[in-house]
Amino acid sequence: MEVCGNLEVDVNGQEIFLVEKKILAFFSGKLRKLLLGKFKGTGRGVKVIFHDFPGGAECFELIARFCYNNGSIVLTPSNIFLLHFAANFLEMKGNIHGIPNLILQTKIYLEGIHYWTWPELVVGLKQCQDLLPVLSSSRIFQEFLDSLVEKLFMPGVASQRTSSSYSSSFQFSGDVSSEGEKNYNSQTTWWFQDLGFISIVLLENLVHTMMLQNVEHATICSFLLSYQKSRFFSVSTAERCKVTETVVNLLCLLDEGSISYRGLRDAFGMTLSLKMSRCCMVKLESLIGSRLDQAKLDDLLVPSPPGKKYAYDSNLILRLVKIFLLESCNKYSNYRLKKVAGLIDLYIAEVAPDPYLRPSKFAALAMSLPDVARDSHDRLYRAIDMHFEVHRGLSEDEKISVCCALNYNKLSPENANHLARNPNFPTGLVATASASLKSKLKTLLKEGHHHKISCDNLVNLRAKNGRRKYKVEEGRKRGRRMAYIMRTRISSSSKSRSLPRLCSCGSVPMYPPNELYKHYGTLVE
């Protein structure tokens, strides 16, 4: 400030201000205490040094303007937090000549936070970022974050955003694409890029506030992964590591079912070029491994670490499988386990031809899953056969260690027959496979014999039922003929004499015509 004065104020080593002692001390209780009795008359000036002034030189200039303007200043979202915390720092409490002190003025203004528009909240958030050391335990700061989070999901808030805020939001997200614009206008993600500028400390505060306000964890997860992606290409390598570690730590706080596997995969891919801490990588691998059944083959084809000759990082896959199995003890169904088994079989087939992959590592991959995970071992057998073709110099013991993963009873007859004649496999195992094949064939023959017997029984049953039906029909015909004869006899004899007693004495059963029909039918059966 180009103002003559008798007091030098060094603000955080950034800038030295020359001001009038009486003017600033009139409003600041702290300066009055510091300067009390140290300056009289018009002698040499006094110098005050502040090492931790809130907001730095920019904020002190605002305070000086307030004092020189007789306690008046226009409060806006862009200066309210700076003025509030600086006023508290300088103890600007007392009302002077009826003029409200600066602390009171800023408190009254901050009471209207809930009525701020979205752009005003974003501006205020940027000011908060510069004051983070002071804000850590501030109730006003937490109220501000509460208001900001509430605004995220209020109807119509997205429409408050201006074109300038739209364009500036992409300064930290890389480039503008049609997909980015689509996400930008999405009902749940429109604010992601507006908040991409915040520091990792402010990110932690914001996410904790979201969780306290019961924001859907899936939305928080998407925001965190978007934040990491947008910051990754705009900061230094060291900062990238810090951003990734912060994001991973926050992801671990969310519900398991809310975390996107695709997002985790992308996050992991970005860490491959970084020297991440072991703790962070363990957490990230744990998140990915517990969702391994959602992966695809391409996700597993991670290049080997620098200096290694083998193509893919098989150690990583073994760790992921181990994590999945530990997590799946009580949570996951056999269906998910079988999905992982199919995925690992594809991976094993992919790495089998690698001439630099050690047999012990290949065996570990083959035996990484329990036997119940696979209904068939055909794909595993084909991968082992390919591995043996490439590694022709393997000893019998090395081959046996690899073949321990095979369950011969889960091979199809075609593959069991192929194994029985395969010169690449150890002789003892070929004999075992042959015995297994013979047993399988016997079983199939028995099943075929039983099937034939069942078919024969079915044919015989059908024939018997046919004969039974024929006999019943014949009985019915006989019944009808006998009924006709009885009716004829009764009709002829009624003209000359009564029905003979013989007919009623039991020699010939006396039934009504319809009962006679049924009776003979039953007898024939």
Give tens-digit pLDDT for 247-266.
Answer: 999 999 999 889 989 999 99
Identify the DSSP state of 138: -
Question: For 159-185, what is the mean pLDDT?
Answer: 44
Q: What span, in angstroms and rounded, lies between the C-alpha atoms of 288 and 259?
A: 10
Identify the DSSP state of 7: E
Show Cβ contacts of residue 257 under 8 Å, excluding neighbours closer than 6 positions: none
The pLDDT tens digits of the residues spanning 265-298 come to 999 999 988 889 999 999 999 999 999 999 999 9
The pLDDT score that the predictor gives to residue 5 is 75
pTM for this model (two decimals): 0.73
Length of the chain: 525
Q: Is 415 exposed, middle or buried (0-12, 13-18, 19+ CB in 10 A)?
A: buried
Least confident of 328-342, 387-401, 485-499: 485-499
The pLDDT score that the predictor gives to residue 98 is 75
Least confident of 63-77, 84-98, 387-401: 84-98
Which two tokens mark 131?
A: 């004051």
DSSP bridge partners of 18: 8
Query: To which residue do tokens 């899953």 refer?
Result: 369
Residue 11 parent element (H or E): strand 7-11
The pLDDT score that the predictor gives to residue 46 is 83
Question: For 357-377, what is the mean pLDDT?
Answer: 94
How far CA 298 is from CA of 346, 347, 350, 445, in Å, comes to: 10, 9, 10, 43
**CB neighbourhood size of 427 (10 A):** 9
Show Cβ contacts of residue 307 under 8 Å, excluding neighbours closer than 6 positions: none
Q: What span, in angstroms and rounded, lies between the C-alpha atoms of 6 and 117?
A: 43
The pLDDT score that the predictor gives to residue 477 is 52
Phi, psi of 383 (to 5 degrees): -65, -40
Evaluate if residue 366 carries a pLDDT over 70.
yes
Evaluate if residue 441 carries a pLDDT over 80.
no
The 3 state secondary structure assigned to 87-103 is: HHHCCCCCCECCECCHH
Q: Which residue has the higher pLDDT, 117 or 96?
A: 117
**What's the helix, strand, coil split of the chain in %, to 5?**
65, 5, 30
Query: To which residue do tokens 């200043």 refer?
Result: 73
Phi-psi map region of 506: left, alpha, beta (phi>0 left; psi -120 to 50 alpha): left
The pLDDT tens digits of the residues spanning 295-333 come to 999 999 999 988 899 999 999 999 999 999 988 766 657
Q: Which residue has the higher pLDDT, 498 or 38?
A: 38
The DSSP bridge pattern shows strands 7-11 and 15-19 to be antiparallel
